[in-house]
Amino acid sequence: MTQELMKRIFAETDFVHRSGTPEELRVAEYLKAQCDALGVPAWIESFPVAMGEIEEAHVYADGKEIPCKGFFCCGSGEVEAELYYMPAQDPVSVAGAKDKIVLMDSSGIGFFGYQDLMKAGAKGILFQYGDIHYPIDDIDERDLRAAVVGEEQKVLCAMLNTADAVNLLRSETKRVKISIRQREYEGRSNNVIAELPGKRDEWIVLSAHYDTTALSHGSYDNMSGCVGILGVLEALKDKPLNYGLRLVFCGSEERGLLGSKAYTKDHEAELPKIALNVNLDMIGTWLGKFIAKVSAEDKLVHYLSYIGAELSFPVEAKQGVYSSDSTPFADKGVPALSFARLASPNAAPIHCRYDLPEVLSMAQMEKDIAFIAEFTRRMAMSAVCPVGRDIPEKVKTELDEYLFRKRRA
Ligand SMILES: [Zn+2]
């Protein structure tokens, strides 16, 4: 893929396109058109997503209003209680949450953290977002996920800017009130699928999510991965492949991998025919090291570092679970890996207004795509894909923890 075309794709998708919004659909249609232009027809498969339209959200600190964003899908109403700052989630800290509105140090919460707070009797949760130097009105919008709430009750949740969170403590705030009014409904999000058939009726799935968070234009996270799989498609489309390539551009990854979860659920019967999932999430930055996180056998980890050495392309290959769309595949028994070029958040921060095309190097994009295309070519042209289908116990344990089936040790 030429640098000009890559640049154009980044420029034409340089806007917020959050899960379940018309902008997300616009980018889905745009990616479909990119596949069509390469001569590989694509189609869209939609799936339901819980949505919340915030009508009003307020947080008051001892009666004085401070800027906030209400969490989608956390319900509507009003709650007032004593403020309790809780930087850690150990049992002693959690015990102090009874009847309090809890201020966390994070921008979100996992299943066990939420369950513990509800059992302890917390009345509401304040999260914080960003960097004390970010503009005060830069406050990310998140949702209270059904997978986190489980069987517990919902409580009102709101996000503050970190500068305001610090000020709550500085000003010795005693009581806080959260008030939210929202309309909750079922929306739609979309996966974009394209297929390049091979000789066998078996596939390598290339995946990358295209949705963004609420403030991000998502050039690095993750239009870079989408451009990556388009580049691989272009490089391999005239090659005689033994395994077919299936491209899955996932929607709603930022809401908890909803697109890849929907794909692996809706295509469950075909999963035995997927030899490997190669997922791209964030490549092509000026700074940063290239990594491969392998949710499959050890041999693939070694193979990746060998092929990197052979091609003079440094790869830090490790076994484990990556927080991206490779995870639902691995969880259903499909060997999977994620490639990423991980830049320091000082140079290329994500999930914020600074994730823009200028953090990317088109020359680095070309090199990253060339490596990923060569690896994919070798796998797709192999007589029999060499990657074993047994997911190692260590990876299974990490999957159980990541997917909230087991507490982290
Ligand atoms: Zn991402």
Whole-model pTM: value is 0.96
CA of 321 to the centre of ligand 1 (A): 14
Instruction: Using the mean position of ligand 1's atoms as its centre, give its distance from the Cα of residue 222 in Å.
Output: 5
- If you write DSSP's letter for every residue of 164-181 in order, what string do you get? HHHHHHHTT--EEEEEEE
The pLDDT assigned to 409 comes to: 80
Q: 250 CA to middle of ligand 1, Å?
A: 10
Cα of 259 vs centre of ligand 1, distance in Å, is: 12
Taking the centre of ligand 1 as the mean of its atom positions, its distance from the CA of residue 115, in whole angstroms, is 26
How far is 250 from 262, CA to CA, in rounded Å? 9
Supply the angle between the helices 362-381 and 298-310 in degrees, to the nearest 10: 120
Taking the centre of ligand 1 as the mean of its atom positions, its distance from the CA of residue 165, in whole angstroms, is 26
160 plus 86 within the same structural domain: yes
Instruction: Compute the distance from residue 281 Cα to the ligand 1 centre, in Å.
Output: 5
Distance 215 CA to ligand 1 centre (A): 14
Per-residue buried b or exposed e for 180-195, using 16+ beta carbons within 10 Å of the residue's own CB: bebeeeebebbbbbbb
Same domain for 348 and 394, yes or no, is yes
Strands of 108-264, DSSP E: 124-129, 156-161, 175-196, 203-209, 244-250
The answer to whether residue 241 sits within a structural domain is: yes
> For residues 231 and 217, what is the distance between their CA atoms, to the nearest angstrom?
21
pLDDT digits (tens, 9 = 90+) for 279-307: 999 999 999 999 999 999 999 999 999 99
The residues, ordered by sequence, that sit 6+ positions from 330 with a Cβ below 8 Å of its Cβ are 277, 295, 296, 321, 336, 391, 395, 399
Do 41 and 74 have their domain in common? no
Range of the domain at 160: 63-173
Q: Which of 121, 89, 127 is nearest to 105 (CA)?
A: 127
The radius of gyration of the chain's CA atoms, rounded to the nearest angstrom, is 22
Report the separation in Å between the CA atom of 287 and the middle of ligand 1, taken as the mean of its atom positions. Answer: 17
What is the Å distance from ligand 1's center to 208 Cα?
A: 8
Ligand 1 centre and the CA of 40: distance in Å?
A: 25
Same domain, residue pair 197 and 285: yes
Q: 122 and 85, same structural domain?
A: yes
Going from the C-alpha of 201 to that of each of 243, 244, 332, 380, the distances in angstroms are 7, 7, 19, 12
- Given 173, 197, 221, which residue is the final one in a domain? 173
**Per-chain residues with Cβ under 5 A from ion ligand 1:** 221-222, 281
What is the whole-number distance in angstroms between the Cα of residue 392 and the centre of ligand 1? Answer: 25
Clarify whether residues 40 and 87 are in a common domain: no
Nearest alpha carbon to residue 29 among 214, 208, 186, 190: 190
Spatial neighbors of 301 by CB under 8 A, at least 6 apart, are 292, 294, 317, 318, 319
- Ordered alpha helix ranges (H), 237-257: none
Q: What is the structure's pLDDT at 4?
A: 97
**173, 200, 230 — which closes off a domain?**
173
Ligand 1: centre distance to CA 254 (Å): 7
Structure tokens at 22: 């018309």
Is 77 found in the same domain as 32? no
On whether residue 297 sits in a domain, the answer given is: yes
Ligand 1 centre distance from Cα of residue 35 (Å): 21
Centre of ligand 1 from the C-alpha of residue 98, in Å: 35
C-alpha of residue 104 to centroid of ligand 1, in Å? 23
Rounded to the nearest angstrom, the distance between the alpha carbon of 280 and the centre of ligand 1 is 9
Angle at 87 between CA 84 and CA 89, to 5 degrees: 95
Report the number of distinct structural domains present in the chain.
2
In a domain, 18, yes or no: yes
The CATH number covering residue 396 comes to 3.40.630.10
Interval between CA 221 and ligand 1 midpoint (Å): 5
Give 369 Cα–ligand 1 centroid separation in angstroms.
17
CATH number at residue 98: 3.50.30.30
Q: How far is the CA of 354 from the centre of ligand 1 (A)?
A: 14
Distance 63 CA to ligand 1 centre (A): 38
Angle formed by the axes of helices 362-381 and 3-12, nearest 10°: 100
SS3 121: coil
The pLDDT of residue 115 is: 97
Q: Please list, residue by residue across 266-299, b when 16 or more beta carbons sit within 10 angstroms of its beta carbon and e when fewer do.
A: ebeeebeebbbbbbbbbbbbeebebbbbbbbbee
First to last CA, the chain: 44
Same domain, 319 and 397: yes
Distance from Cα 68 to the centre of ligand 1, integer Å: 24
Query: What tokens does 14 get?
Result: 């340089």
Distance 136 CA to ligand 1 centre (A): 24
Q: H-type helices in 184-325, by residue range?
A: 224-236, 258-266, 298-310
Residue 13 identity (one-letter amino acid) = T
Longest Cα pair distance anywhere in the chain, in angstroms? 70
Contact status, residue 165 vs residue 126, Cβ threshold 8 Å: yes
Task: Tell me if 179 is assigned to some domain.
Answer: no
CA of 325 to the centre of ligand 1 (A): 9
Instruction: For residue 408, tell me if it sits in a domain.
Output: no
Give me the pLDDT at residue 3, please. Answer: 98
**Contacts with 391 (C-beta within 8 Å, 6 or more apart), sequence order:** 295, 296, 330, 333, 335, 399
* Ranges of residues in the chain whose predicted pLDDT is under 50: none
What's the CA-to-centroid distance between 87 and ligand 1, angstroms?
A: 26
Task: Indicate whether 297 and 395 sit together in one domain.
Answer: yes
Last residue of a domain, which of 111, 144, 173? 173
**For residue 248, how many other CB atoms are within 10 A of its CB?**
25
Q: Which amino acid is at 198?
A: G
